[in-house]
């Protein structure tokens, strides 16, 4: 039986998951593939830590050069994460004619063009299903069975850590920092969880999804990105009262010759299927002109789901190796020379409904000033609530607007802040409640 040898770079959480899967489901993988996947080496600087999975002697090594240049190894799995040295290792593997599987969304979002071009020159495959949505096979579906569609939008809950934190804050009133610690222990968070919390990890994934869906290059810097650290229990409770849940949403929309690509906490109606996506689960909702709306749901982070996506990619490459072909489908979904540059709309030009929470001292005329500034900027109020308070106390006023242009909302908030009637920064959360 044919043997296909693979090497793993990085023996962290996901690397451990891949080793575990290859050991536990080895017979099954062989039965499905008709070939044996042989794990020839795992590379890591740490040769002594107990990862809880057995490796035969000689497999774990710190000699990356040996693995990158081993002529027997045809597939390199990069699970180091980050930019350095992952970029260099992937480029060297490609240069040596090896196919690559990577879970590295940060690297692809920033250096994707270089890596894809190198893979095209060497006619090797680069697959990256584990980079978006953990175990959910969404990228394969976009490039595969849904490829015949023009896509109109792609929306996603793409960060397991944030979704886990928001869910526990919503369901139990749990404390942000405590829940983050648990998410780290469960292996959901990035090595530096700042990327999870500030929305950057979600933006990396949106960058990949938008490129694939709309066939465009995306500069990460053009993706407006807000994380979840400004979300408080107060906002979560108001959202509930108004019939919404707060989720960190990645939004990609095609609008003629422009694209919207933004990441921010978003209120979605509680009766939307996405509102039920809780804990570490991710969901991606895509609309295509022929398929309509399709929603993918599954575990978006963690050792085992991500390992499932990694090995799925390895098997896809192995099938091609067995019949002596490669690059049957373009790694970016479109032929390389058909990738275009669609400008991304600045956030000010986007429109949405808004939740605005003003902290004000309860005294006469305040509400008139707020509604006046909103009205002057063409913003219409849909509903409003002010909790009972004693005269002279600080009180939140919550206003839900009709659809408005972000630029106008910002102008109104600037005006309101300049009147010195608010005691802290007004909290703004966008609302997405008109999904077709």
108 versus 347: smaller Cβ distance to ligand HSE: 108
**What is the three-class DSSP state of 335?**
coil
Q: Examine residue 288 and tell whether it contacts ligand HSE (CB under 6 A).
A: no
Cα–Cα distance for residue pair 80/87, rounded to 1 Å: 10
Annotated catalytic residue: which of 98, 122, 205, 247? 205
Q: How many residues bind ligand HSE (CB under 6 A)?
A: 11
Contact between 154 and 38 under an 8 Å Cβ cutoff? The reply is: no
- Could you list the beta-strand ranges (E) of 103-241: 126-127, 151-157, 224-225
16 versus 159: smaller Cβ distance to ligand HSE: 159
Of 36-44, 153-161, 232-240, 265-273: span binding ligand HSE (CB under 6 A):
153-161
Plot region of 302 (φ>0 → left; ψ -120 to 50 → alpha; else → beta): left
Cα–Cα distance for residue pair 83/327, rounded to 1 Å: 25
Of 156-164, 286-294, 347-355, 370-378: span binding ligand HSE (CB under 6 A):
156-164
Q: Examine residue 134 and tell whether it contacts ligand HSE (CB under 6 A).
A: yes
From 7, 10, 15, 160, residue interacting with ligand HSE (rule: CB under 6 A)? 160
**Active-site residue flag, 205:** yes
Lookup: tokens for 381:
């109020």
Q: Examine residue 188 and tell whether it contacts ligand HSE (CB under 6 A).
A: yes
From 199, 298, 300, 333, residue interacting with ligand HSE (rule: CB under 6 A)? 300
Q: Examine residue 196 and tell whether it contacts ligand HSE (CB under 6 A).
A: yes
Q: Going by C-beta distance under 8 Å and a sequence separation of 6 or more, which residues neighbour residue 237?
A: none
176 versus 334: smaller Cβ distance to ligand HSE: 176
Contact between 265 and 428 under an 8 Å Cβ cutoff? The reply is: no
- Taking the complex as a whole, the smallest distance from the CB of residue 322 to ligand HSE amounts, in Å, to 30
- Could you list the beta-strand ranges (E) of 226-314: 244-255, 258-269, 281-288, 292-299
Task: Name the CA dihedral angle for 307, 311, 316, 321, rounded to a multiple of 10 degrees.
Answer: 150
130 versus 252: smaller Cβ distance to ligand HSE: 130
Q: Examine residue 44 and tell whether it contacts ligand HSE (CB under 6 A).
A: no
In the complex, which residues of this chain contact ligand HSE (CB under 6 A)? 134, 159-161, 188-190, 196, 201, 300-301
């Amino acid at each position: 039986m044919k043997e296909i040898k693979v090497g793993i770079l990085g023996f962290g959480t996901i690397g451990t998951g891949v080793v575990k899967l290859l050991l536990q489901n080895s017979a099954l993988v062989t039965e499905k593939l008709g070939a044996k996947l042989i794990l020839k080496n795992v590379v890591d600087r740490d040769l002594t830590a107990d990862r809880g999975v057995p490796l035969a002697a000689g497999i774990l090594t710190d000699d990356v050069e040996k693995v990158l240049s081993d002529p027997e190894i045809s597939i390199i799995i990069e699970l180091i994460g980050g930019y350095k040295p992952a970029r260099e290792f992937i480029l060297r593997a490609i240069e040596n004619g090896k196919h690559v599987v990577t879970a590295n969304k940060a690297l692809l979002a920033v250096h994707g063009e270089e890596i894809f071009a190198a893979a095209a020159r060497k006619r090797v495959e680069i697959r990256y299903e584990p980079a978006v949505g953990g175990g959910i096979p969404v990228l394969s579906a976009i490039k595969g069975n849904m490829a015949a569609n023009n896509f109109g939008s792609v929306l996603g809950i793409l960060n397991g850590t944030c979704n886990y934190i928001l869910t526990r804050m919503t369901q139990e009133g749990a404390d942000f920092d405590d829940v983050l610690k648990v998410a780290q222990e469960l292996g959901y968070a990035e090595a530096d969880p700042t990327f999870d919390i500030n929305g950057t990890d979600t933006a990396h994934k949106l960058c990949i999804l938008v490129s694939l869906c709309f066939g465009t290059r995306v500069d990460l810097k053009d993706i407006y990105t807000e994380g979840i650290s400004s979300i408080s229990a107060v906002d979560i409770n108001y959202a509930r009262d108004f019939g919404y849940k707060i989720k960190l949403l990645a939004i990609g929309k095609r609008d003629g010759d422009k694209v919207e690509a933004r990441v921010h906490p978003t209120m979605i109606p509680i009766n939307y299927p996405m509102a039920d996506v809780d804990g570490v689960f991710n969901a991606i909702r895509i609309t295509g002109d022929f398929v309509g709306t399709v929603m993918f749901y599954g575990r978006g982070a963690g050792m085992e789901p991500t390992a499932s996506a990694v090995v799925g990619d390895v098997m896809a490459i192995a099938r091609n190796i067995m019949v002596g072909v490669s690059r049957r489908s373009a790694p970016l979904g479109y032929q390389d020379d058909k990738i275009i540059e669609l400008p991304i709309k600045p956030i000010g030009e986007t429109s949405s409904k808004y939740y605005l929470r003003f902290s004000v001292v309860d005294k006469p005329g305040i509400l008139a000033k707020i509604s006046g500034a909103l009205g002057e900027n063409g913003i219409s109020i849909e509903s409003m609530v002010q909790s009972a308070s004693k005269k002279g106390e600080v009180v939140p006023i919550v206003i839900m607007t009709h659809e408005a242009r972000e630029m106008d909302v910002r102008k109104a908030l600037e005006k309101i802040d300049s009147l010195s009637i608010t005691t802290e920064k007004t909290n703004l959360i966008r609302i997405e409640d008109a999904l077709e």
